[in-house]
Amino acid sequence: MPLCRVEALGNYETARRLRAVISQVFRYGIATARVSNDPTFGLKGAISAPKVTHRAAVTDWGAFAKLIRSIWAYTGTNETRAAMKLMALLYPRPGELRQAEWAEFDLDKATWTIPEERAKMRRSHKKPLAPMAIDILREQNRHTGNMRLLFPSSTSIERPISENTMNLALRRMGFGKHEATSHGFRATASTLRNESGL
């Protein structure tokens, strides 16, 4: 499918990534003397940029402290409590955490290997686990360790908790949709770490 058709469907990010992959193929062709130029070079900047959706995130230390206290005091299901705590400690993308499988975790080596099919850039990556995260995972293992998913849905152990589960938990804790979202944890971590110089 030509790039213009992908772009016409409104799939701007897909079109940009597709152009980048095609360019890599042509650059390899140039390096191996199979082709003389990269025809995608002229398309740089010509493909529409995807619309960025900003997610509400806590970005000051006082509000973050309140968020952490609320998460640790939350009285929802085991799965939701553990998921929220891990969001605060590890700040993964919500889909990476929701769909996490026990086989991805090595608690003895303190690592979580997020597989390429769930990673944003389609590359697997390892996330180090802090001791507190390991404690939460060991506790969660007592509830779902005999299942494939860390956080199975209440309606089917073969499906993960829904995308809205964590956002609904935030609402129950008193955080409005313009104050905090599950997608916002990454922005929170980035902002506060940059401010602290870490």
**Collapsing DSSP states into helix, strand and coil, what is residue 71?**
helix
Q: Measured at the alpha carbon of residue 101, what is the angle toward residues 155 and 183, in degrees to the nearest 5? A: 80
Q: Which CATH architecture has domain 61-196?
A: Orthogonal Bundle (1.10)
> Residues with Cβ < 8 Å from 16, sequence gap 6 or more?
47, 49, 50
E strands, the chain, in order = 105-106, 111-114, 125-128
pLDDT per residue rounded down to tens, the chain (198 residues): 477 777 777 777 777 778 788 888 888 888 888 888 888 877 777 777 666 555 667 667 888 888 889 999 999 888 999 999 999 899 888 889 999 999 999 999 999 998 888 776 667 788 999 999 999 999 999 999 999 999 998 888 999 998 889 889 989 998 888 888 877 777 666 666 766 665
Q: Cβ(151)–Cβ(160) under 8 Å?
A: yes
Question: Positive or negative, the Cα torsion across 108, 112, 116, 121?
Answer: negative
